[in-house]
Amino acid sequence: MAQQVRGVVAPGRGEPVRIETIIVPDPGPGEAVVKVQACGVCHTDLHYREGGINDEFPFLLGHEAAGVVESVGEGVTEVAPGDFVILNWRAVCGQCRACLRGRPWYCFNTHNAAQKMTLEDGTELSPALGIGAFADKTLVAAGQCTKVDPAAKAEVAGLLGCGVMAGLGAAINTGNVGRGDSVAVIGCGGVGAAAVLGARLAGAAKIIAIDLDERKLATATSLGATHTVHAKGTDVVEAVQGLTGGFGADVVIDAVGRPETYKQAFYARDLAGTVVLVGVPTPEMKLELPLLDVFGRGGSLKSSWYGDCLPSRDFPMLIDLYLQGRLDLDAFVSETIALDGVEAAFDKMHHGDVLRSVVVL
């Protein structure tokens, strides 16, 4: 029987979100209904509300979540009712050309639940990133559920479902940071701070955190940054070179995603170094660089989708490290809030007051 639960809905472009009754159908083949326990507030939710992603209003927001599987549909074998899971927004298909080449983290055919959740009047909802977890329960594709150790707190575990994984993965997967490397991270919000943590986990010897906000630099230091650069009025490239014997960093991670920060990242890396773009640019942004510099500086320029993570490989491993006290994920939970606190949380995020506000249900 379809269920009625509460959900946070963005009704139209720029309009404040509101709590509505939503209808969650029983899971069909390959689907699961998850009882959400916690869901972080991410910039992408705000982008949806502002119409910056697409126009398919109304949206059911929320996508950084953990919870317990309540029921599964026909043919689901990977999870069962009662499993504690983190939701992911890239359920890999196993059959596309990327998957078949053994590179499932690039899957070009990720999928979501086939059925739609609706408002009471039958209006179909568009769940944010195919999840929609600012709700008591949500319907997803079973492949979007990754089972992890239930000893982890849901408000912490859920964060691996988006921004924190993107940052950790930008360092450990895409950037392939290794023992002894020098790493610079431009922009130390939730994503960049996680990149700092990832660089430390990977054994980087020098981790340079760069931000315009003193508070973000302080957090980055507590997570393992060895040096900080306040970007306002500073030549960031010179500052990074000055901290790396005049050469630049082996890996520079742009967790802002603007042409000017990308250029800083490009020139602040050592010859043959790596640039990782994990911040998401907007459609009107353009990049201009001398092509000879692209050639002459060698190395690699990479983008990081979702930290190039493979949820089935990375989520359980990272949760285990967290439970062993080797990965400080607690630091990302700035506050826990109720379902009606999402609009206020957008405000705090906008002012840089929090790394993450997390809705606890």
Ligand X SMILES: NC(=O)c1ccc[n+]([C@@H]2O[C@H](COP(=O)([O-])OP(=O)(O)OC[C@H]3O[C@@H](n4cnc5c(N)ncnc54)[C@H](O)[C@@H]3O)[C@@H](O)[C@H]2O)c1
> Are the C-beta atoms of residues 248 and 270 closer than 8 Å to each other?
yes
Q: How far is CA 48 from CA 18, 23, 59, in A?
A: 14, 21, 7
What number of CA atoms fall less than 13 Å from residue 177's CA on the CB side?
A: 32
d(CA 10, CA 57): 7
174 binds, among ligand X, Zn ion, none (CB under 5 to 8 A by kind): none
Q: Site residues (CB under 5 A) for Zn ion? A: 42, 44, 93, 96, 99, 107, 109, 162
Only one residue has tokens 């079973």, namely 142
Q: What is the CA 274 to chain-centroid distance, rounded?
A: 21
337 binds, among ligand X, Zn ion, none (CB under 5 to 8 A by kind): none
- Of 62 and 248, which CB lies nearer to Zn ion in the complex structure? 62
Q: What is the CA 114 to chain-centroid distance, rounded?
A: 23
- Of 73 and 190, which CB lies nearer to ligand X in the complex structure? 190
- Of 107 and 249, which CB lies nearer to Zn ion in the complex structure? 107
Only one residue has tokens 């010897």, namely 205
CA dihedral 235, 240, 246, 252 (to 10 degrees): -120
Report helix, strand or coil for 168.
helix
Among 278, 359, 360, 361, binds ligand X (CB under 6 A): 278
Among 262, 266, 267, 306, binds ligand X (CB under 6 A): 306
**Which residues in the 159-218 window bind ligand X by CB under 6 A?**
162-163, 166, 186-192, 210-213, 216
119 binds, among Zn ion, ligand X, none (CB under 5 to 8 A by kind): none
68 binds, among ligand X, Zn ion, none (CB under 5 to 8 A by kind): none
Among 156, 202, 255, 339, binds ligand X (CB under 6 A): 255
61 binds, among ligand X, Zn ion, none (CB under 5 to 8 A by kind): none
**Binding characters for ligand X, 125-164, by CB under 6 A (x = yes):** -------------------------------------xx-
d(CA 201, CA 268): 22
Q: What is the largest CA-CA distance in the chain?
A: 65
Interface residues with ligand X (CB under 6 A) are 43-44, 162-163, 166, 186-192, 210-213, 216, 231, 255-257, 261, 278-280, 304-306, 352
